[in-house]
Amino acid sequence: MKKITVTLAVISLAACNQRKESSLQIGEPEEIVTKTYDELEKADWLLGEWGNTSAEGNLTETWKQENDSTFVGESFITAAIDTVFHENVVLQQKNDSLFYNVTVKGQNNDKPVAFYMTTANDEQVVFENPKHDFPNKITYSLISSDSLVAEISGMKDGKESKEMFAMKKK
């Protein structure tokens, strides 16, 4: 009788262990993979609202994080009560590349123009599209934690041209 009880206990214990092992294997991933967006993170200092007031008008640029791989931006210039310039930007990481897709109403048939990141560090991000008429290059430079300069540059009317927009964080 003792042999039967011990044998049953060993069999029950072995069966419980097998059931426990098999339940751990079903539906559990072997490894949890976390996708990172290192290229987008290089531009996270853009997030927030920036602006400047000049003789030409009031410039406002706002950046928000839409999701893990995308920032959305909006820039506009107002003069008196009129909006004289408006653009929407989607800054998106796809694989290991960061793209700056800008849409300006009334330009390029209202379709976005893509620029790709060519340089990035803690204080500057540069986007280029050599096939675009003007600008070919868009640069954001962080001057201090509350100050940046956006610059557009390229060939315009056969000459090298550059426009700079200094902004303070609001």
Query: Does residue 147 fall inside a structural domain?
Result: yes
In terms of C-beta density within 10 A (0-12 exposed, 13-18 middle, 19 or more buried), how is residue 89 classed? buried
Domain count of the fold of the chain = 1
β-strand partners of 84: none
AA identity, residue 97: S
Query: Does residue 47 fall inside a structural domain?
Result: yes
State residue 27's pLDDT score.
63
CB of 70 closer than 8 Å to CB of 63: no
Q: Which long-range contacts (CB under 8 A, 24 or more apart) does 131-136 make?
A: 134/161, 135/163
Query: Does residue 95 fall inside a structural domain?
Result: yes
Query: Does residue 54 fall inside a structural domain?
Result: yes
State residue 36's pLDDT score.
86
Query: Over the stretch 34-51, which tens digit does the pLDDT of each residue have?
Result: 788 999 999 999 999 999
Query: Does residue 31 fall inside a structural domain?
Result: no
CA-to-CA distance for 150 and 20, rounded, in angstroms? 60
CATH code for the domain of 81 = 2.40.128.20
State residue 33's pLDDT score.
67
Query: Does residue 24 fall inside a structural domain?
Result: no
Query: Does residue 98 fall inside a structural domain?
Result: yes
State residue 30's pLDDT score.
66
In which residue ranges of the chain is pLDDT below 70? 1-30, 33
Query: Does residue 75 fall inside a structural domain?
Result: yes
Domain that holds residue 165: 40-169
